[in-house]
A and B are shown apart, each in its own frame.
Chain A
Amino acid sequence: MSLDRKVAIVDLTTGKIDIKAIPLAVRKQFLGGRGLAAYLLYNYSKPGCDPLGPDNAVIFSAGILGGMLASASARTDVMTKNPLTGLLGSGNFGGFFAPELRYAGFDHIVVIGKAAKPVYIFVHDGEVEIKDAKNLWGKTVTEAQWAVREELGDPDVKCAVCGPAAEKLVRYANVMTGIKNANGRGGGGCTMGSKNLKMVAARGTMDIKIAHPHEALEFDKRFIEQITSAKVNQTMGVLGTPFIWGATNSWGGIRTNNFQFNQLLNADPIEPEEIDEWSKESMGSEYNMSACFGCQVHCRAKYKIPDTPLARKYGLVGKYDEGPEYTSQGAFNGEPGCTGLDTLLMGNHLVDQYGVDNLEIGSTISWAMELYEKGILTTKETDGLDLRFGNDDAVIAMIHHICKRDTWLGDVLAEGGIRASEKIGKDSFKLLIHMKGMQNLHSDERATPALALNLALASRGSDHLRSRPAIDLYHLPVDVMRRIYSSPVAYDGPLSSDHTEYIGKPWQVAWHENCYMAVDCLGICKYHTTFLGATLPNFEDWAKVLYYNVGLEMTPKDIWDVAERSNMVERLFNIREGMKKDDPFKGEILAERYFTEPCKRGAPDVIGKKIDKPKFLEMRALFYKYKGLDENGVPTPESLKKYGLENLDKEPLRI
């Protein structure tokens, strides 16, 4: 049977480990990955708990296809109550951890309580142990993984590990695996740090039975061809995610100098082709890409940091890393207005080693830069650091200070934007670009209302991977859009292929929210879905891949329902933890600057654009309607009943 993986509930306070089976009924309701993680978090974290206290839970969750025959079936969701926002915290990484966890016999590790001293959890072939992490504590992300492999005498141990930033309780510390696979959002690393948990290490040699092996192999071959034949994936396989930078920046879709501009000028040194060239040169090979488990897209470039004055100053010359992604380009170049390739490569390397969210730290530093230029912060608060935009050195210095909390400003910014704004005072909060307390990606959505709506509604706070209907920008013919957005449930409302439009967008956002939730439950990568192209796999394909591998007979509509239900549980969690739709701190509303400041740079269809607030609120109301929510964004009793969630608070725990 393919569905024999288990859940381990590990209480670090008592040292008690409970190993439980996953009932088939629960599987059919949530599949795995993020969906089941949401269900587990709802049940295993105490309502209203302190995210940094023992009552919070942190859940490591492999998708139901993890390690099986589906391209890039390698995603792990880590879910917790986010120390940064107090709402849902969830991040998703690729790499090799999820397959290894499943080969070790487990789908989910639920960690509660708090250890008295640093520990790590070792999962291997059906067993779970809590082990002493004295020799791992204080180590960087790669050092710690290296050390545990040495200790266990096995180079194939895979780790979900937190870095020094998590130990210092930086509120946006990541969980990491491998060199650079980051659970980039949600503060899971910080929760691990608060529990004295350095890592979950996994090693497994157990079979996962494939339900229909011959058919699975043949279908997988076609599935892969479908994925790799898309131009977008071919490009990504050469240039990595930075390939979108050139187009987005010249168009004016990048947030620069915090939010003052929307295009980085003189950005030639960090164009994707430049990064690619450096990557090839520094690795001494024309083949320079690395991949997650079983993935043909291979979107990460390998590189070594060049010998530059700045790299020499920080002792980083020749250090190996992977990436640098589109997000790092924004975090360390676009937002702080820096154009150095070495700044990008070093920034990327440092966040990987400290284990901190590149997006959050880059945005936070850039926000501080705007405060500095506007006189709200002075050299007194910055310890003499010249925090002007375009100061590459200051960006690298601030990454260190935040992760080590060794200066006043570093310590304050480690608390995240909202808490920092309370300490800094004046008008600092008004300049913060956040939704639900989470800073935004470096992108600028003022010309794309659909993407802006996604930001405000994302369950884990401002986010580009919860729904983002990015195919909006491809200007697909409406009949093609109709085909995508009318399946697997009928939709005959308006649709518009104009990215600046407001009509039709609420449905697109609602549709993509379910699409990405489904993918996260399956545990495969979003680059292999309609996120990037109309021809890429969809609900129909997932039903087949699920059947051939796992043997579960589910229709595309059944998978849609799983996604709808899982999204609803995430929403219920947020509501339980205090989300109110118009709350400027925890609400489903854009930062005010989206409504008041027009775009200053970019293409003619971008310049002058801002989000129309009444239209935005209309979109949100329609989204609520599509989702079966009332006017406040709360699931109606009928919707709860429809998805079997009416007794979520009262019913006995089914796992």
Chain B
Amino acid sequence: MEAKVLMINHEKCTGCRRCELVCSVFHENVANPSKARIKVEKWEWEGLYIPMSCKQCVDAPCMNVCPVKAITRDDAQGLVSVDNDMCIGCRSCVAVCPFGAMNFNPMMKKVFKCDLCDGDPQCVRFCDMKAVDFVDVRKESLSKKRDAAFKISEAKKLGATIQYEG
């Protein structure tokens, strides 16, 4: 079985940032969103809220760029991890991540990232809207296909009506 992935549907996000809160408490025992591994980027004036987190990339740029090989990927778990003992705090991974998912802790002088909370991501557990979900990627892909197909069929119907009326 394929490892599960964090899937974000930003349309569902209400912008409450509970994911940031529970992430910081779970990992650091403190309430402090700036230490969260997930962050909701918000365009408040347009009502647009987009949670950003690590995608655990298969060909992970952070892993590829790390000069001391502190970053590795476990294919079975679908998890990219940082070995804190090896990390030299060069922040190459922060620079290269396309999603801004690698963070730097200035106190520890180490990088930190989403570790999927040992298989029970707290952001998923606490998101009432399921804007962040932990899913089997193939199943998700199938259901997305179905949703998209439905939308296309609706659009066709709509197009046909307009043509008919026009």
Contact = CB atoms under 8 A, between A and B. Distances in A.
Interface of A: 67-69, 96, 99, 103, 142, 146, 155, 178-179, 204-210, 213, 216-217, 220-221, 224, 228, 283, 285, 287, 289-296, 298, 302, 320, 322
Contacts of B16: 291-296, 298
Interface residues of B, number: 31
Most buried by B among A213, A224, A285: A213
B100 interface: no
Contacts of A285: 11
Interface string B41-66: 01011110100000000000000000
Contacts of B125: 221
A210 B47 contact: no
B33 interface: yes
B59 to A, nearest CB: 31
B5 interface: no
B132 to A, nearest CB: 13
Given A221-B126, A228-B128, A320-B46, A205 B34 contact: yes
B44 A287 contact: no
B94 to A, nearest CB: 16
Contacts of A289: 14
Interface of B: 11-18, 21-22, 25-26, 28-35, 42, 44-47, 49, 122, 125-126, 128-129
Which 3 residue pairs across A and B have the least CB separation, nearest first? A291-B16, A207-B30, A205-B34
A205 B33 CA distance: 7
B32 A142 contact: no
B34 A294 contact: no
Given A213-B25, A320-B47, A296 B128 contact: yes
Nearest to B42: A155
B14 A210 contact: no
B34 A103 contact: yes
Contacts of B21: 67, 69, 293-294
The prevalent SS among residues of B at the interface is helix
Contacts of B126: 220-221, 224
A287 B47 CA distance: 11
B128 A224 contact: yes
Contacts of B45: 142, 146, 179, 320
Contacts of A103: 31-34
A206 B35 CA distance: 9
Contacts of A217: 22, 25-26, 122
B31 A68 contact: yes
Nearest to A296: B128
A207 B15 contact: no
Nearest to A283: B47
Given A67-B31, A205-B32, A293-B17, A302 B47 contact: yes
B15 A290 contact: yes
B122 A208 contact: no
Contacts of A292: 16
Contacts of B32: 103, 205-208
Contact of B31 (A207, A224, A295): A207
A292 B25 CA distance: 19
24 contacts: A69-B22, A142-B45, A178-B44, A179-B44, A205-B32, A206-B32, A207-B31, A207-B32, A207-B35, A208-B30, A210-B30, A210-B31, A217-B26, A220-B126, A224-B126, A283-B47, A287-B129, A289-B14, A291-B16, A292-B16, A293-B17, A293-B18, A293-B21, A298-B14
Contacts of B30: 207-210, 213
Contacts of A220: 22, 126
Contacts of B12: 287
Contact of B18 (A287, A294, A302): A294
Contacts of A69: 21-22, 25, 31
A94 to B, nearest CB: 10
B66 to A, nearest CB: 26
B154 to A, nearest CB: 13
A591 to B, nearest CB: 39
